[in-house]
Amino acid sequence: MNLPIGFDDYVKQLILLINGYRYSLNPIILSIFFLSRFYDWVASIKLIVALAYSLIPISIFIYMYELFRDRFISFLSSLLALMFAVAFLNSKYFEGVVVAILLPIFLTFLYKLYSGERQLYIIGLVVICMLTLLSELKACYLLSAILTVFIICKREKLFKILPSLIVSYGLMIHHMVSVGIQFSYLPMDLTNPILFIAIICATVGFYLTVKSREILLLTIIPAILIIALFPIANYFLALFNILSSSLASFLASFYRGFVKSYKVMEDGVEIRELAINLNKLIPIVLILILIATSIHNTRIFIESYQTFPWMSLTIYDISSIVTCLASPNSYVITSSSLSAWIEGLTGLRVLNNYGYDLEVDTITSTNYRLINSYIMVDETNPASPAYAPRVRVYDGEYYLNSIVINDSNVLVTVSNTTLNIAGHVINTYVNSLNLTVFYGLPSLTIKKIEALSRDSPILNITYILNAEGNAQVGIRIPIYAYNALFAVDDDGFLAIGRDRVRIIIKSNGVIDTTILNKTLVVSSSSKGVLKLDIMFTFFSAKNSNIQPCIYSTMDLLRNLNVSCIVASRRMNNFLSLLQREEIAVLELDESTMSVLGGQYFQPITAGNTTLTNTTAIYETNNFIVCRRILGNSIVYEVESRNSTLRLFIMKYVVPLSNLRWWLINENKAVFWYKDLNVTLIFSKGFHDVEYKSDKIICTVIIPLNKTKDVISIDVTNANISISSNIIQIHTMIGFLNKITEVSKEFTIYKVSLK
């Protein structure tokens, strides 16, 4: 980008912010962009959302006042709309706020045309239809449905409505072509009062529509909303309730005649009687239900930030710790229940997983995530073998678990020796929508490639096994389906249930398969090199309109500039695997070193020894050895006294407790750990290796010049420490420093990226 006066930085920040839950940059961001140039960009977004949110009751008030010319009814409708619109307070739902503002104005213009007002409102309808570009284009379905029903009922208004109808249908067709037709399951939660009130409003609306065409615009809207919006998205349910408040306001006009008081005289005694009109009881009950539902919605939203008395001190402690840990202009990741409190008490910028934030969920649940419009693939290696991978399918509303492979259950066979591949990941590589995982085992290397299609619900997983010496090699992979049973198909296998998945298996060796209810066990064997390809096609996946991408937890932490994480128990299940810890790589005991000079094979510690912090001098009758630590190098200078130098021999021990793979060749040794590898390069010499059950003993034999020689050992990705004449090489794995636990509910981590 080459924008003036620093605009490019703001554009990059906005794109980064929106990327997690919008996947596109639509024109509504322009307002945020210009305001953020002169003000803090995070506060700008919150300010714009708050201002837009405050316009919802105003637009509802204008609409209702046009209908009833009654300030009380308009005020009641605005109050109900304000309480229902609480679902839009999260900035992820900003499109819903825009629709909630525009729709009452749209209905007002439509009512003006219905009442025979000026033709200027024809232009107003067209403008509002075009303004839906600022929101989700799904709103075009609603506008088109309203205009269509209006024309059916008022055919004489066809030419007045036709321009706006053309625009709304054009945008709807554009949305269908670009996204595709989507279907979703209805949220049939009978305990949800929103569903209950929606059915009541629709029923009453249809009844009143049939009874009186004069209130068409008031009563047909709830029915259209149920048909057009229920299958689309959750937050449209709040929009439904906002507009159904117009029906509630109409019903509220009955309240004045609900109860009447009379004075009568009986036997000279004045008696006061109350007359209750039962015909008006139902509207009053409906109003009470609507108000109760709005209170329920508000309570549900507030509960996401609710704290209990015992948590007050906890929140204060967490805020104090986070204030000290977080660096300026960085982000803090917290659970949704803490985010508002920490942001308010510390003034820091907070990310949380309220609703569903793709980036935060990736950081707190997996190491790598491949995603397209249909499926999401999680890979937890090398931190954990649990998801290797796990596939989730978009059902029109959420990404739900479908298929999983656990490396703990994957077995390989080399020359009749069976091994488990869990914990043997030595490297990972990302390229486009491909994730490559390398495994290292004795006499065998494995390359696993997960390739996600860019624009279809297809995932290919390829295993390539290379055995030393052309040995017989085999692999056994159990594939588990969360919500389906496996069956044989003409082209392979089908997983049938809530998900419908076709699995096609190809191999250059012998294939054997076994079906055990929800598990398909795939086995294959060959000689030397085995290539096994498994292709998954998820027919039940729907299009979510998410742009294809691949996420890495470490890259996200770096790009989002996250400095601190306050993990709840659920988040900590995965984050604890990334905890930073120091491990021992090897130990080099100088008392085991020796020099062969002339006919004498003598330990270097056989004579006088002089030790300092980084230097040691060993003197014998035949030679002098001087050792120095220079940065990440160990340097030995060997000088002859009364003999001819021949060989320098040293031993070091490598524990196997955290080691995943190693490669030792001549003068070089590489040791792989969870998320890094440590390399030792000797200036010359060769290795002799002895394997034990819990360690590797390496003997390095180094030829020497006759009179004087220098030997260096260069170490990468590790630190060197000295205790007496013992040299220890150690390193740090993981990138989350555990700071403390607070009330056994939250764990605070400091992010330390290499």
pLDDT digit string (tens) for 528-572? 899 999 999 998 898 887 889 999 999 999 988 999 999 988 888
Judged on CB neighbours under 10 Å (0-12, 13-18, 19+), 210 is exposed
Query: Alpha-carbon distance 6 to 4, whole Å?
Result: 6
Residue 459: what pLDDT?
A: 95
205, 122 contact by CB (below 8 A): no
Query: Alpha-carbon distance 737 to 751, whole Å?
Result: 6
Query: Alpha-carbon distance 148 to 633, whole Å?
Result: 79
The tokens describing 463, both together, are 């295993």
Length reported for the chain: 754
Residue 110: what pLDDT?
A: 78
Sequence-distant (6+) residues with CB within 8 A of 17 are 41, 42, 45
Show the low-confidence residues of the chain (pLDDT under 50): 1-30, 37-38, 90-92, 182-189, 215-219, 222-224, 226-238, 305, 355
Q: What is the pTM of this model?
A: 0.65
Q: What is the number of helices (H) and of strands (E) in the chain? A: 17, 41
Which position has the token pair 């076709």? 502
Q: List the Cα angle 113/118/121 in 5-degree steps.
A: 60
179, 545 contact by CB (below 8 A): yes
- Dihedral pair phi/psi, residue 268, rounded to 5°: 80, 5
Helix (H) or strand (E) holding 336: helix 336-346
Residue (of 264, 268, 182) closest to 229 by Cα position: 182
HEC string for 150-168: HHHHCHHHHHHHHHHHHHH
283, 251 contact by CB (below 8 A): yes
The answer for 162, left when phi > 0, alpha when psi is -120 to 50, beta otherwise, is: alpha
88, 301 contact by CB (below 8 A): no
Query: Alpha-carbon distance 663 to 679, whole Å?
Result: 10
Query: Alpha-carbon distance 63 to 348, whole Å?
Result: 40
Q: How many CA atoms lie within 13 A of 175 on its CB side?
A: 20
DSSP state of 309: T
Contacts 24+ apart (CB under 8 A), 146-153: 146/106, 146/107, 146/110, 146/220, 146/221, 146/224, 147/110, 149/220, 149/224, 150/110, 150/114, 150/216, 150/217, 153/213, 153/216, 153/220
The count of other CB atoms within 10 Å of the CB of residue 29 is 21
Residue 684: what pLDDT?
A: 93
Q: How far apart are the first and last CA of the chain?
A: 28
Residue 94: what pLDDT?
A: 53
Query: Alpha-carbon distance 335 to 338, whole Å?
Result: 6
Max CA distance (Å), the chain: 143
Query: Alpha-carbon distance 748 to 753, whole Å?
Result: 16
541, 698 contact by CB (below 8 A): no
Residue 680, classed as helix, strand or coil, is: strand
Residue 612, classed as helix, strand or coil, is: coil
Type of residue numbered 182: Q
Query: Alpha-carbon distance 336 to 705, whole Å?
Result: 67
Sequence-distant (6+) residues with CB within 8 A of 174 are 137
Judged on CB neighbours under 10 Å (0-12, 13-18, 19+), 136 is buried
Helix (H) or strand (E) holding 687: strand 686-691
Judged on CB neighbours under 10 Å (0-12, 13-18, 19+), 36 is buried
Residue 256: what pLDDT?
A: 53
Query: Alpha-carbon distance 748 to 475, whole Å?
Result: 41
pLDDT in tens, 225-268: 544 444 444 444 445 555 555 555 555 555 555 556 666 666 66
Question: Where in 89-148 does DSSP place strands (E)?
Answer: none
Query: Alpha-carbon distance 508 to 487, whole Å?
Result: 23
